[in-house]
Chain A
Amino acid sequence: MVPLNWYIILSAIIFLIGVAGFLTRRNVFIMLMSIELMLNAVNISLVAFSHYLQDMRGQIFVIFIITVAAAEAAIGLAIIVSLFRNKQKMHADEIAEMRG
């Protein structure tokens, strides 16, 4: 039997890799993919909890998270396409119109 802890640790590692990708990559595109990575890490922990606590609610939440991830990918890619069309840039350190 695999302990529940192992799944949570795996989920945390993948989530942190996603955070690292989001914070360090220059390409806006890879940053969006890092967000997908983080959402998938959360899904793994929810399915693991659902199995070990013998409750279906974790899997229901995963369905909602996949819905939100699909919506977020569509909106994010539309933003990237319009950004590239207007500025010809897709690197996070070059997009500094607001002096942030």
Chain B
Amino acid sequence: MITVPQLFFAYFAVAMTVLSLLVITAKNPVNSVLWMLALFFHIAGLYLFLNAEFLAAVQLILYAGAILVLFLFVIMMLNVKDEIIGKRFIKGWPVGIALVMSILAVIYFPISRLIQGPAGQYTIEAIRAETNSKVLGRVLYTDYLFPFEVASLILLIAIVGAMVLAKRRA
């Protein structure tokens, strides 16, 4: 028997698969970025479905709002005219597809033998009692404080690296 959540998930699964296929097959990179925008909205919807409200907001603000706009800015600076006339795929594309099929075979066996582990302490009721973002923040700033600081270092290196790479040579 198919229930309403399963229908909801089925819509999201089909839409996300089609959108990601459109992302990798679109001829114009601008179209590709816009399909990816629609895909990110669907992913945010799926996060809401999985009770991850904070991550849904982060997905929209950071991925759709910041990273994709960065991609669009770079396309604006580059020339995409010859992309529309030229070929889309490399000469050895069947090798790539064969590699994808072999990865599919490798991934299939663990998924088909999946056994769910023991459940933790953050049940839906426990999270609802003190909101998703509060629980997330407490775990992030106590148990994962050191990785959080390392992440700030990664961002610093990205800032410096991007400036050094994109600077015009004197």
CA of A74 to CA of B157 in the docked complex: distance in angstroms?
Answer: 10
B96–A24 CB distance below 8 A: yes
Q: Mark contacts of A70-88 with chain B using CB atoms, 8 A cut-off: 1 yes-contact digit, 0 otherwise.
A: 1111110111111011000
- Which A-B residue pairs are the 7 nearest by beta carbons? A23-B96, A21-B24, A71-B158, A55-B120, A78-B165, A78-B162, A24-B93
> Which chain A residue has the least Cβ–Cβ distance from B132?
A59
Q: Is B139's CB under 8 angstroms from A56's CB? A: yes
Q: List 5 A-B contacts (CB under 8 A).
A: A8-B111, A14-B17, A23-B100, A24-B90, A78-B162
A-B contact sample (18 more), CB < 8 A, given A23-B99, A92-B90: A1-B5, A13-B17, A14-B16, A23-B96, A24-B93, A25-B88, A33-B71, A37-B36, A40-B43, A51-B52, A53-B118, A53-B120, A54-B119, A60-B139, A63-B55, A66-B62, A71-B154, A81-B74
**Nearest B residue to A70, CB-CB:** B67
Neighbour of A26 across the interface among B9, B66, B90, CB < 8 A: B90
A15 to B75, CA, bound (A): 24
Known A-B contacts A51-B50, A63-B140; the reply to A74 vs B111 at CB < 8 A is no
A91-B86 CB under 8 A given contacts A1-B5, A17-B21, A54-B119: yes
Contacts of A12 in B (CB 8 A): 104, 107, 111
- Which residues of A pack against B, CB within 8 Å? 1-2, 4-10, 12-21, 23-27, 29-30, 32-34, 36-37, 40, 43-44, 47-48, 50-57, 59-60, 62-64, 66-75, 77-82, 84-85, 90-93
Question: Separation in Å of the A65 CB from the closest CB of chain B?
Answer: 10
Given A4-B114, A5-B114, also A33-B165 (CB < 8 A):
no
Q: How far is the CA of A66 from the CA of B54 in the complex (A)?
A: 13
Q: Tell whether, in the assembled complex, residue B77 and residue A81 are in contact, meaning their CB atoms are under 8 Å apart.
A: yes
Q: Is the CB of A74 within 8 A of B158?
A: yes
Contact of A56 with B122 in the complex, beta carbons under 8 Å: yes
- Residues of chain B within 8 A (CB-CB) of A1 are 3, 5
Which residue on B lies nearest to A12, using beta carbons? B107
Name which of A17, A59, A70 has the most chain B CB atoms within 10 A of its CB.
A59
The residues of A that contact B154 with a CB separation of less than 8 Å are 67-68, 71
Find chain A residues with CB under 8 A from B43 CB: 40, 43-44
B52, closest chain A residue (CB) = A47
How far, in whole Å, are A19 and B114 apart by their CA atoms in the complex? 23
User: How far is B14's CA from A5's CA once the two chains are assembled, in angstroms?
Assistant: 16
Whether A93 contacts B119 by the Cβ 8 Å rule is: no
